[in-house]
Amino acid sequence: MTKIGSAGGRRALLPVVLLAALAAGCGTQRAGDDTSAADAAPASRGAAATPSAPVDRPCPGESATATPRAPAPSTSPTAPPSDHYAENHGFMVPLPLHGDRRCQGLEEAGRVRTALEPLRRRGDFSAGRVREALLGLGYPAERVEASQDGPASVDFLVQADDHPVCVEGDVNRARTETDAFGGYPDGTGCDRPPGGH
């Protein structure tokens, strides 16, 4: 004989009770309401629910003063709801590096800049020479790209490791510019994907 109050009966009712509780809370906020879920939530939950921005420590050779970072793209409610440009083009925005990978990226960018600066001073703006200099740093040939960008400018891209840590930039009459990043959201490696999701 089975009792209704048995442990097995209570376990069987638990999913039904949880589902009913969840369903009761759904759909209570309507478009145009002035209060948001974050405003209605207790203050103790607000801090835990909001992800924090990564804090980067100074890397070797950097000053202890934090470098200001560009603000993250805004998903402000003031933007028109039909404007999905940033969302649709997010695949083209390189991922930033943080922590040890950021330090590795800065180190790789410095190595590349040091190797390419003599070419710039000599006025040697050949994609072949830039590629040779990058290969001389020990990067595998399939991970080094260099392309002519006018008579006195060469663009380059290097995949320094598999995470990926990428270094891109250009060599021209005015400067040797390098920048490190962590690939792209919808891609693998360092090449910008041709399209996003």
Domain boundaries, position 98: 92-181
Residue 119 lies in a domain: yes
Band of residue 45 on the pLDDT scale cut at 50, 70, 90: very low
Distance between CA atoms of residues 10 and 16, nearest Å: 10
The pLDDT of 128-152, averaged and rounded, is 97
Q: Classify residue 168 as exposed, middle or buried by CB count within 10 Å of its CB (0-12, 13-18, 19+).
A: buried
Residue 33 scores a pLDDT above 70: no
SS3 helix, strand, coil % of the chain, rounded to 5? 35, 15, 50
Residue 126 scores a pLDDT above 60: yes
Band of residue 196 on the pLDDT scale cut at 50, 70, 90: low
Q: Percent of the chain scored above 70 by pLDDT?
A: 62
Cα angle, residue 97 at apex, residues 96 and 99 outer, rounded to 5°: 140
Question: 160-182: per-residue pLDDT in tens?
Answer: 999 899 999 999 999 999 999 99
Distance between CA atoms of residues 154 and 148, nearest Å: 5
The count of structural domains within the chain is 1
Residue 12 lies in a domain: no
Place of tokens 């050779």: 61
Structure tokens at 117: 């600066």
Distance between CA atoms of residues 102 and 193, nearest Å: 22
Distance between CA atoms of residues 103 and 107, nearest Å: 6
Residue 76 lies in a domain: no
Q: Taking the CA atoms of 75, 76, 80 and 81 in sequence, report the sign of the dihedral they define.
A: positive
Residue 52 lies in a domain: no
DSSP β-bridge partners for residue 157: 145, 168
- pTM comes to 0.64
Residue 62 lies in a domain: no
Residue 63 lies in a domain: no
Residue 165 lies in a domain: yes
- Listed ranges 29-38, 50-59, 101-110, 184-193; the one with the highest mean pLDDT: 101-110
Distance between CA atoms of residues 162 and 101, nearest Å: 11
- The pLDDT score that the predictor gives to residue 50 is 56
Residue 142 lies in a domain: yes
Strands lying side by side in the sheet with 176-181: 144-148, 153-161, 165-172, 176-181
- Strands 165-172, 176-181: pairing is antiparallel
